[in-house]
Amino acid sequence: MSIAPEWYLALAAGLFTMGAIGLLIRRNVLVMFMCVELMLNAVNLTFVTFARTLDDINGQVAVFFVLVVAAAEVVVGLGIIVAIFRRRADATADDLHLLKG
């Protein structure tokens, strides 16, 4: 038997919310980064769900695009984070506010 798509959607919504809240309240750059990944994957889950429900392959294609973009983003993001930690040991996101107006 198959699980009803509502469950998947509820799970995706839950994951997304966790990611969003995590991004907003955490200060650790790495954790915030993981939260972004969490949100991306929550969206991926909705895409797949709807692709199955609506029997439309485009949803799964979109997921691949998201994965590719996420991979590229990880490379750039981790590169930035490594560069930051090279200069200072205990940087939180709030310490990095050089662009303050």
Partner 1 sequence: METLDLSFLVPLFPLLGFAALVVAGRKLGDPLAGWLATAAVGVSFVTSVGMFFALLQLHGEDRHFTVELFDWVVVGGLDVSASLLIDPLSITMALFVTGVGTLIHLYSIGYMHGDERFSKFFLYLNLFTFSMLVLVLADNFLLAFLGWEGVGACSYFLISFWFTRESAAAAGKKAFVTNRIGDFGFMIGMFLLFSAVGSLTYAEAFEGIERVSAYTASAIVLLFFVGAAGKSAQLPLFVWLPDAMEGPTPVSALIHAATMVTAGVYLLCRIAPILDAADPAALTVIAAVGALTALFAATVACAQDDIKKVLAYSTVSQLGYMVLAVGSGAYVAAIFHMVTHAFFKALLFLGSGSVIHGMHDEQDMKRMGALRKWMPITWATFMIGWLAISGVPPFAGFWSKDEVLLGAWLDNKLLWGVGILTALLTAYYMSRQVFLVFYGAERWRSPAEAGVADKPELTDPEPVAEAAAHADASGSHGDGHSGADPHGSPWVMTVPLVILAGLAMVAGVLNLPFTKGTMYLEHWLEPSFGEALHPHSVPGSEKLVLALIATAAALVGIALAYATWFRRQPSRNSGLEPGVLKRAWGLDALYGAAVNGPGRLVSNWLAFVFDRRVIDGAVNGVGGLVRGGGGQLRRVQTGYVRSYALGVAGGVVLLLLVVVGRVIS
Q: Does 88 bind partner 1 (CB under 8 A)?
A: no
Chain residues 41-60 in contact with partner 1, contact rule CB under 8 A = none
30/61 with CB nearer partner 1: 30
The 3 state secondary structure assigned to the chain is: CCCCHHHHHHHHHHHHHHHHHHHHHCCEHHHHHHHHHHHHHHHHHHHHHHHHHHCCCHHHHHHHHHHHHHHHHHHHHHHHHHHHHHHCCCCEHHHCCCCCC
Task: Decide if residue 90 touches partner 1 (CB under 8 A).
Answer: no
Nearer of residues 36 and 51 to partner 1, judged by Cβ: 36
98 contributes a contact to partner 1 by CB under 8 A:
yes
